[in-house]
Structure 1
Amino acid sequence: MEIKTLIVDDEPHALDIIERYIANFPDLHLVAKCNNAVQAFQILQKHKIDLLFLDIKMPGLLGTDLVRTLTNPPRIIFTTAYQDYALEGFDLNAVDYLLKPIPFDRFLKAMDKVFNGYRPDYLPVTPPSSTSTVKNDSFLYLRVDRKNVKLNVDDIYWVESLKDYIKVVLADKTYISKQKISVLAELLPDEKFVRIHRSFIVSIEKIQSYYSFAIEILGRELPIGRNYKDELRKRLK
């Protein structure tokens, strides 16, 4: 499934944040981003857009006024710093209404509504254990968007905690699952993975280099927590 997405916001920083958030979801394809409603209207006439992240208070034309011009508007998530527009936004059948600054966990809740909307007749798979993640020695099933996704353990680079969610990073994909990192800590094989921080579990064999305060993996630096330094040194000897 590919959800074609457009971001409209007159603040460059807000555009960048939403674009970074979108990059965490393989099903989302960012078609374009622009900084005013008139440009957005032109893009919507030329491209099929499934999901619109739309700021409300922009120069020239309000985001809410743009929606009223559309005969068949896409699914809309309003993004704004002004709570006063909330009622009007929901009157326009918005999927959600995000107040800036938008924390990632709140963005995830909005995406859960989007994915539920795209799968109205999808029956959740009943997991074969009390958790939403199931594994054997070489692979595990990760609960993602109301389905269980099979992941080869050897393909995982790291797991990152995002409050009540986790991000599982592979070489070319990232998955978001609603659960605690402690669940993955129990399921991942100890001989292949090590916890380096309360928010990070990494594949030992995929660590490219390490310092006193961080490791490098897949070209990114991840912090080493004070309480995890000794165990990491032992595992890397």
Structure 2
Amino acid sequence: MKMNCLIVDDEPLAVSVLETHLANMPALRLAASCSNAFEAMEALKAHQIDLMFLDIRMPKLMGQEFLRTLRNPPKVIFTTAYKEYALDAFELDAVDYLLKPVTLERLVRAVNKMTAVGIPEVKPEAVVENEGFVYFRADRKMVKVAYNDIVYVESMKDYVKIVRTGEKPLLVKQSITALEDLLPDQLFVRVHRSYIVAINKIAAFTNHDVEISNMEIPIGRLYAHQLEKIARSSNL
């Protein structure tokens, strides 16, 4: 039996991250995503919600304040960029308190804490299809990017450049580490502190670099262990 979930967060990128992760967890069903507490109130009336992913700092009503207004709240996992509200959250019987950016592994661990109350253990899908996608904030809008269109990602100080097939590169204000957590590791691999590459776009590789899109991208010393993953996944 699937758990119905509700996301309450005013940051589109954070919502996109959670939606992407939940799509890989077959035991969970996303019922709705809301940008504030008042939208969430309506969603709770319209759906039987088992688990709510709740941001802390939101317009109109803070996440913990909203939770206190609910007579029979669902189980709650807080997702926030701020550490200082953790004690307050656990006093409200939160299942867990996750700091953004939320990784798939950390999310699965949080959801599995609910096994103590009789909910079946949740596991991520073994395979993530190339047809998946993610949204990025760029040029003052949210841009939808299919996993299969991403060739590689390059870190550029406070930004990352996402190189795509058939499209101009997308410049996004985000760290490469946060983006690494967002992209499914079945499809992408970080080979250098400044580069993430799509495994299925790799044409060739050596112990020192990968050849992709007519360029050679170096393999950093700290990422040499990824060669085995590349060989296994690429069938090269």
Using structure 1 for the length normalisation, give the TM-score: 0.54
Q: State yes or no: 1:168 paired with 2:135.
A: no
Tell me which residue corresponds to 2:144. none
Instruction: Give 5+ residue unaligned stretches, structure 1.
Output: 123-144, 147-164, 172-196, 200-207, 215-224
User: Segments of 4+ in structure 1 off by > 2 A?
Assistant: 114-119, 208-214, 225-233
Distance 1:231 1:82 in 2: 38
Deviation at residue 83 of structure 1 after TM alignment? 1.1
Match of 2:44 in 1: 44
Partner amino acid, structure 2, of 1:40? A
Q: Could you say what secondary structure the match of 2:64 adopts?
A: helix
CA distance in 2: counterparts of 1:87 and 1:74, whole angstroms = 19
- The residue number in structure 1 matching 2:24 is 24
Q: 1:152-191 counterparts in 2 under 5 A?
A: 168-169=126-127
What's the counterpart of residue 70 of structure 1? 70
Matched residues, number: 155
RMSD of equivalent CA atoms: 3.8
Deviation per residue, 1:154-208 (Å, 9 max, x gap): xxxxxxxxxxx9852288xxxxxxxxxxxxxxxxxxxxxxxxx999xxxxxxxx9
Q: 1:105 to 1:72 in 2, by over 3 A?
A: same
Q: Distance in 1 between matches of 2:92 and 2:233?
A: 52
| CA contact 2:80–2:99 (8 Å) conserved in 1 | yes
Alpha carbons of 1:37 and 1:167: their partners in 2 closer, same or farther (altered >3 Å)?
Answer: same
In the TM superposition, what are the counterparts of 1:195-214 in structure 2 within 5 Å?
211-212=203-204
* % identical aligned pairs: 42
Partner in structure 2 of residue 79 of structure 1: 79
Contact 2:8 2:40 in 1 (8 A): yes
Q: Which amino acid aligns with 2:127?
A: V
Write the distance in 1 (CA, Å) between the matches of 2:233 and 2:97: 43
Task: Give 3-state SS (helix, strand or coil) of 2:126's partner.
Answer: strand
- Tell me the CA shift for residue 58 of structure 1: 0.3
Change (3 A) 1:27 1:231: closer
Query: Rg larger in 1 or in 2?
Result: 1
Q: CA deviation at 1:5?
A: 0.4
Q: Which amino acid aligns with 2:40?
A: A
CA contact (8 A) 2:52 2:77 kept: yes
Q: Deviations over 1:70-111 (max 9, x none)?
A: 111000000111111111101111100001122232212102
Matches of 1:34 and 1:109, distance apart in 2: 23
Q: TM-score when scaled to structure 2?
A: 0.55
**Alpha-carbon separation, structure 2, partners of 1:230 and 1:50:** 41
- Distance verdict in 2 for CA 1:169–1:57, change over 3 Å: same
Q: 1:108 is matched with which residue?
A: 108
Per the alignment, do residues 64 and 169 of structure 1 end up closer, same or farther by CA in structure 2, a change over 3 Å counting? Answer: same
Distance in 1 (CA, whole Å) between partners of 2:77 and 2:233 is 42
The separation in 1 between residues aligned to 2:35 and 2:6, in whole angstroms, is 11
How far off its partner does 1:227 sit? 5.6
After TM superposition, the structure 1 = structure 2 runs for residues 98-137 of structure 1, keeping only pairs within 5 Å, are 98-119=98-119
Distance 2:46 2:233 in 1: 53
Structure 2 unaligned residues grouped into runs of 5+: 130-187, 191-199, 205-209, 212-225
Distance between the aligned counterparts of 1:198 and 1:80, measured in 2?
A: 26
Give the aligned partner of residue 203 of structure 1. Answer: none
Matches of 1:231 and 1:27 in 2, distance apart?
A: 28
Higher relative contact order (CA 8 A, sep 6+): 2
Distance 2:74 2:96 in 1: 13
- SS across alignment from 1:84: coil
Note closer, same or farther for the CA distance 1:226–1:111 as it changes in structure 2 (3 Å cut).
same
